[in-house]
Structure 1
Amino acid sequence: MSRPPLHWSCLNHCGACCRLAPAERQEALQALSDEQQTIYLEMVGEDGWCRHFDQGGRRCKIYEQRPDFCRVSGLADLFAVATEEVNDFAIDCCRQQIRSVHGGRSLELRKFERLIRSPQNSDD
């Protein structure tokens, strides 16, 4: 019996992608244009988190106006991911970042794994 397909979706109150520390995100930073790198680096707070991340509420304060590189579709474009592979790419990126920020046995990773197994529209 085959498993149902996974469907990427953004996990509310996770914030793992808002951990922008350049030393920890070299691959992502190098994929950006010079202009995007400038914006990215201006967004990094002293603690390595995006200055637009509300750590108490664990949400983005500029979600609707966030830069393209903060969107799954923007990352897929940066890394030249084929349209049919964007879902799997997004899932892999999120898993990696959630593990890095919250840990491999974290509640956030468990919630993300449940979320991607229940079909729904993405919140890119």
Structure 2
Amino acid sequence: MSRCTPEGIVRLLDAYDLPIAGKRVCVVGRSAILGKPVGLLLLARDATVTFCHSRTGDLAAQVAEADIVVVDAGYNPGNVGDVEFSVAASRASYITPVPGGVGPMTIAVLMEQTATAAEQRVS
């Protein structure tokens, strides 16, 4: 199964030369299609990954201790994500907007994987 959004997130980190190895990463969400896969991709890149979710105690402390926080791949009515953007932007060194951040990367990875699959089928 393809994991386009998690791969897109990792590619965004790479595009901005953000180091992953040795960093503390907080993944907020544990879904099978985003939270877990992105955490495992970052773990494979030698990050120390903490998974947080709706039952995590003191989420703010977990987020505050992290070097990288992966959270906002959501899209909600009104063109907003899952995070209060202005508050997060005042603390973050890098942040992706909604819309226009992770979404286009998801589409780019999906297109790349579709083209690769088509090429493999023809070969």
If the length of structure 1 is used for normalisation, what is the TM-score? 0.31
Higher strand share: 2
Q: Which has the higher contact order (CA 8 A, sep 6+)?
A: 1
Higher alpha-carbon Rg? 2
Higher helix share: 1
